[in-house]
Every structure is written in structure tokens, then in C-alpha cells.
Amino acid sequence: MALPRSTPGSHHKGVMQMAEGNGSDDEKGPDQDKTERSDAAKESGHDIVREDLDDHEREIVSSHEIASAKLVHEIIRQRGIEELERPASALLWSAIAAGFVIGLSPYAIGALLNKVPEGPWMPLLMALGYSLGFIAVISGRLQLFTESTVTAVIPLATTPCWSNFNRTIRLWVIVLAGNMIGTFAFALFVHFNLSGQPEIAMHIREDSLKAITAYMDSPFLKGIPAGFMLATLVWAMPNLERQEVFIIAAITGLMYLAGVAHSIVGAAELWVIMLAGQIGVAQGLFGFLVPAVLGNVIGGGLLFGLLAHAQVVPEIDENYVYDKDRPRRKRRRVR
């Protein structure tokens, strides 16, 4: 939690009060001491914990404090700055790894279709399988494009300048390119049956064709909620210590059940059926991938990112310069 700012002169006032009270500490009773501590807490701006709680109960209260919206905003902003300042080669390799690892989602679905008989529970199992790729990527801090849509927008919204805008575009281009390379590598893995499991590869192709066909009805519109939901996940993570896996599984599983279009998982599915000759290149790129990417950017970066930033704008100190690249505007002299 952010510490409250001291008011002007509060330090000298506190020193004088301590000096005046040095001679009378022995004469204070417990009730007077509690009253003075309460008054001091009120004056400093701290909330007062109930007096009837013992020390152990007070520790429990303190340990259950959660980050405020302003603090979460700052955590996401710092993470975004770290990503913006990473070397291009580090971003690219991390994004390639993320693209390949996200292939666990269609692979898990293919494995479930191969081994588990049909039943009313099957959609829930498929949703759980779909979440595995996201759990691995997000827990491993690999660069996923749909996460970067919100983490990069927060620094830009906080300090809008051409330098941050250029860094944001650079990040998105590198991460998206790396994710595409990684997902294509996964598609090659499936196409050439490098795992030696032709049945699973067959189910991956069948489910991928079914998914892409469903997305192509309105890939842009279905991409917006997917981007928004991933951004919600990123925003919730700082307050979910040791519970990250559950929220990742819940939100990404909901994405599967809702049938929204995630551009990176969708890219893995698209390359699989494209290599199998089940869809043309132009149809796949412009009928699904490009609109889905734009929808993810709108939903995650613009819609959620700007809304999340707007709620803390009144709490941000206008006099605090966040980044060294804030543009300095020349003031015109008033005659």
C-alpha cells in the first residue's frame, strides 16, 4: 500500500509533541495512551484497526491487504516498461517460444478427443485442455501478443509521446512476428507427425478446421472479447498471489466455451489446416487472422487498457514525471 504523504510541518510538530510528552509519559494511563494513538492515526491519515482485536488478529488483517487500483496500475506499467526496453532478440525468442508452447492448447484438445468418450462433461474437459497452453505461457513469463496489448498501452497512456508510441509499435510487431513463427513451428510439428501420434494429429486438424470455420463468421467481433478477457486476466494477476493457475484456467476456459477468437491460438489452428490444404492462404489470413488480431488489439489494448487507465487518472500526481522521454513543450511567452 502507498504510504500517505506527510503534511508540511508535520515532522516538526511531531518532534515538539514528543519533547513535550517526555516528562509526562509516566503519568499517562492506558486509556489516554489509546486516545492519543487514535488521534495520531487519524491525523496521519491511517485507517484505525479495531481496538478489540488482539495482535494475532491484527496481523491477519494486515496480511489480507490487497493492492489498490492505483498500485495495480503501477505494477502493470512497470512490467510494460520492462517489456518495452527488452532487446529485440530477447523479445523475438521469447515470443517464438510462446507461440510454440501455446500449441499445447490444440494439442490437449486433440489428445482429449482421442482418448475421452463423448459425454456431457466433454466441453468442460475441452475448456480445461484449451487453458493448458495459456497456463504454460503466462506462468513462464513468455511474450504473448495478447498480453502485450495491455501491458504496453498502460505506459503509453500514462506518458503519451512519440517515443513511447514507437516503442509500443516495435514491441507489438516483434512479439506478433515471433508468435506467428512459433505457432507455424507447432503446425509443422503436427503436419509431419513428429510426435508419432497420427490419431492425435488427425483430431487436431479436425478440431482446428471446426474452430476456424466458426471464427470466420465474424473474426473481428469475436476477437474483441478475447482481447478484453486476456487483458482482464493480466490486470487481475497482481492481486492473485499463489492463485494464478486457477484464474488463468477460468478465464481462458471461458474463452473456449464462449467461442471467442484468440489470434495466437487461432494462428496455430490456422497453420495446421493451411498445411493440410483445407484452407487457402489469402482466405486464412484476411478471412480470419488479420481481423482477429485487430479485434484483440481493440479489446485488450484500447478498450480495457484505456478504461483501466482512466480510473486511476484522478489519483496520479500531475507533477510526477513518469519517464525520461516525456516530451518537453516550449511555453510561449505571454506579452
Q: What is the pLDDT of residue 96?
A: 98
C-beta of residue 137 within 8 angstroms of C-beta of residue 268: no
Cell of 269: 489452428
CA distances from 101 to 49, 177, 196 (A): 47, 15, 18
pLDDT tens per residue across all 335 residues of the chain: 344 434 444 444 444 444 444 444 445 554 555 455 545 444 444 455 566 666 766 666 666 667 677 788 888 889 889 999 999 999 999 999 999 999 999 999 999 999 998 889 999 999 999 999 999 999 999 999 999 888 888 888 888 899 989 999 999 999 999 999 999 999 999 999 998 999 999 999 999 999 999 999 999 999 999 999 999 998 888 877 778 899 999 999 999 999 999 999 999 999 999 999 999 999 999 999 999 999 999 999 888 877 877 887 777 665 455 544 454 444 444 44
Q: List, as one string, the DSSP characters of 65-82.
A: ----HHHHHHHHHHHHHH
CA distances from 88 to 83, 84, 170, 215, 264 (A): 10, 9, 9, 32, 20
Q: What is the pLDDT of residue 58?
A: 64
C-beta of residue 149 within 8 angstroms of C-beta of residue 227: yes
Q: CATH classification of 69-315, choosing from 3.30.70.3190, 2.170.150.70, 3.90.850.10, 1.20.1080.10?
A: 1.20.1080.10
Q: Indicate the burial class of 3 (C-beta count within 10 angstroms; 0-12, 13-18, 19 or more).
A: exposed
Q: What is the pLDDT of residue 166?
A: 94
Q: What is the pTM of this model?
A: 0.76
Q: What is the pLDDT of residue 113?
A: 95
Q: What is the pLDDT of residue 335?
A: 46
Q: Report phi then psi at 84, rounded to 5.
A: -65, -30
At position 229, the amino acid (one-letter code) is M
Rounded-to-integer distance, Cα 48 and Cα 50, Å: 6
Q: What is the pLDDT of residue 74?
A: 85
